[in-house]
């Protein structure tokens, strides 16, 4: 697995397109892509960064094999050590059972329930992880 940095927001735009969202919400970000056998299989946007405090993640993948130990160590290291955040936050739609299972296995904790939050009226859940709870960095 190769980890590549975004240039010109092309990976961030790819994530938004894959999620069916408009790119306008992203703002300032740091995005990395995950390349397997020369093919982009996923990307993660680090956004809404507050120095020394927190960062939000938005992930889109087309291949579950993006989630390697190398990638996990890199993305958690980036959030907690490079950006020096004390927490990572993310949203997961109620219907996205695979993502819900993954974030729980990674150690994220459910913090809240946003009723009818998505554009289509679907509920979403807020998850977070504190630096001292992370087993990946």
The predicted-structure confidence for 25-82, as pLDDT tens digits, reads as follows 999 999 999 999 999 999 999 999 998 999 999 999 999 899 999 999 999 999 999 9
Distance separating alpha carbons of residues 78 and 29, to the nearest angstrom: 13
In whole angstroms, how far apart are CA 47 and each of 26, 39, 56, 58, 76?
7, 24, 5, 8, 14
Provide the percentage of residues in the chain whose pLDDT is more than 90. 91
Per-residue confidence band for 106, with pLDDT thresholds at 50, 70 and 90: very high
Per-residue confidence band for 137, with pLDDT thresholds at 50, 70 and 90: confident
- pTM reported for the whole predicted model: 0.93
Domains and CATH numbers, the chain: 2-133 (3.40.630.30)
């Amino acid at each position: 697995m190769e980890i590549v940095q975004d240039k010109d927001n092309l990976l961030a735009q790819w994530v938004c397109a894959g999620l069916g969202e408009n790119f306008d919400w992203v703002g300032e970000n740091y995005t990395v892509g995950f390349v397997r056998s020369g093919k982009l299989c996923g990307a993660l946007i680090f956004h809404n960064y507050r120095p020394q405090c927190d960062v939000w993640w938005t992930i889109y993948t087309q291949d579950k094999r993006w989630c390697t130990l190398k990638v996990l160590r890199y993305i958690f290291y980036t959030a907690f050590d490079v950006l020096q955040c004390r927490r990572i936050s993310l949203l997961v739609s109620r219907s996205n059972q695979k993502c819900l299972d993954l974030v729980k296995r990674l150690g994220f904790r459910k913090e809240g329930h946003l009723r009818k939050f998505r554009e289509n009226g679907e509920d979403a859940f807020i998850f977070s992880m504190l630096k001292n709870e992370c087993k990946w960095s």
